[in-house]
Amino acid sequence: MTTTRLDLPLVIDHEDGGPLSRQLAGQLRTALREGRLLAGERLPSTRALAAGLGVSRTVVTEAYQQLYAEGWLEGRQGSGTVVADIAPCPFPMPGDHDERPPTAGGSAAGRRGSPGGAGVADDGVPRVGMVDLGPGVPWVGGLDSPAWRRAWRAASISDPVVRPEPDARPDPYGLHGLRTALAGYLRRSRGISCTVEELLVTRGATNGFDLLAATVLSPGDRVGVEEPGYRKACNVVRARGAEVVPCPVDEHGLVVDGLPGDLRLVYTTPSHQYPMGGVLPVPRRQALVAWARRTGALIVEDDYDGEFRYDVAPLPAMYGLDPAVVVYLGTTGKMLSPAVGVGWLAADPGLVGALAERRVALSDRTSVVSQEAVRELLEAGDLERHVRRMRAEYAHRRRLVVEALAGIPLRGDTAGLHLVIDLPPGRVAEVVEKAAADGIHVETLDRYYHAPTSTRALSGLVIGYAAARQTELRSACTRLREIIIG
Ligand SMILES: Cc1ncc(COP(=O)(O)O)c(C=O)c1O
């Protein structure tokens, strides 16, 4: 193994104003991407690098943790931190903007349900009165009322300069002002550097996927969907006459080796695999992009809750790896509420043009008032403030759930708004029934499989921690533990 290297030109700019760990991670990421650090090489210890750069050890530890999480680095017994076996990539990586060049001079709803008695509805929606531990919904009680009201009030008032009368023929791409604001948001929060021409405003992630499917799929096309995965993605594929090809996932997310070569699209959730919770490491992201380039398939990156990661900073979106083969889907559904009905899609401008054209043909559009409200929230900084507050709220809830379920094997507890409890197949129905009898709604992992029962590798429950009130959440999880452990 090559010895520790201290000769990298790393320089910390204390005037920069941003987190020093992010700056350091950005510089190291560039060195890794450009192959200046090679697989198996050992990085300096946190103490040595911190001393060399004149920063605290925490700065170095956080930077290393981020790069561990992204799959660039790995820890080896007795060898410290080493560069993972990862291909250098010639194109810029998402997150590279975090770096400063070494020479720079400074630079009430907690419930859902349909009327009826206690019990679980067939559609997985809890009955009124049950504590909702189902996934898929955010904590809408956390919305900041003044900011929310301000945005919607402003959105509904016409203004000859900023907001003239609503256009009788709304722009199929979405409001230019919102797309401009979104380009900034995606750059800051998801490491995506894109132009307005790459953006189309949708009604949400699923609507964006449906529009893509309506534009590029022909009957009989084969579409890869994560198994287990987001059931509505399968509904979209089937509704367009295409064939769903279940593609296995493991604890890191989509398994790229062995993807069939004849897929037209592959739908994936790399920031936080739905529902198992894996975060796709960089080598797999690179392999997936290489696979798409080779086969001519498009990768659909559903970034439905990528803003919510608790152990390290959220991973940059995969879109930046190669916008020619990735279509990125974002939504306000988890950040704010599905009721807002605004999302976005980023893709190659040629494809965005085709989607806009198709959209006109289908009379598919996003409410202009909703678009204006989201633009207001973005421009005032309220959306990002809300996400920061919600990240703290969900991190707290996650801790609470993990504590209440102590001793039970959990998966995917570092990101998102849900986690998975492993249970032997024979116990799932019994636990769900007992929980329902106690007024607790939980979902089974079974619902996320698309292939026949015999191929299901895992069984258990998917626990959402955003819908219920905190006090209900704690007591429901405590009760769930009693039911499971006995
Ligand atoms: C993986 C995934 N994608 C998308 C969505 C929904 O997004 P939207 O409401 O914007 O269609 C969900 C909601 O639970 C989801 O789990």
Which pLDDT tens digit goes with each residue over 423-475?
998 999 999 999 999 999 999 999 999 887 666 778 999 999 999 999 899 99
Whether the pLDDT of residue 6 is over 60: the answer is no
481 pLDDT band (50/70/90 cuts)? Answer: very high
Closest residue by Cα to atom 16, ligand 1, is: 136
Cα-to-chain-centroid distance, residue 21: 22
Q: Report the pLDDT averaged over residues 166-191.
A: 92
Any atom of ligand 1 within 6 Å of the Cβ of 206:
yes
Phi/psi for 330 (5° steps) reads -125, 165
Q: How many angstroms is it from 136 CA to the middle of ligand 1?
A: 7
Any atom of ligand 1 within 6 Å of the Cβ of 333:
yes
Distance CA 186, CA 331 (A): 11
Q: Could you give the angle at the alpha carbon of 89 between the alpha carbons of 86 and 94, nearest 5°?
A: 100
* Mean pLDDT (the chain, rounded): 86
Any atom of ligand 1 within 6 Å of the Cβ of 319:
no
What pLDDT score does 162 carry?
67
Any atom of ligand 1 within 6 Å of the Cβ of 366:
no
List the single range of 151-165, 253-267, 284-298 with lowest mean pLDDT. 151-165
Single-letter amino acid code for the residue at 299: I
What pLDDT score does 123 carry?
52
> How do the residues of the chain divide into helix, strand and coil, expressed in percent and rounded to 5?
40, 15, 45
Closest residue by Cα to atom 7, ligand 1, is: 205
CB atoms within 10 A of CB 262: 12
Handedness of CA 444, 447, 450, 451 (dihedral sign): positive
Distance CA 290, CA 88 (A): 13
What's this model's pTM, rounded to 2 decimal places?
0.80
Closest residue by Cα to atom 14, ligand 1, is: 136
Pocket test for ligand 1, best of 210, 232, 450 (most atoms within 8 A of CB): 232
What pLDDT score does 2 carry?
43
Any atom of ligand 1 within 6 Å of the Cβ of 224:
no
Closest residue by Cα to atom 2, ligand 1, is: 304
Q: Of residues 97 and 63, which shows the higher confidence score?
A: 63
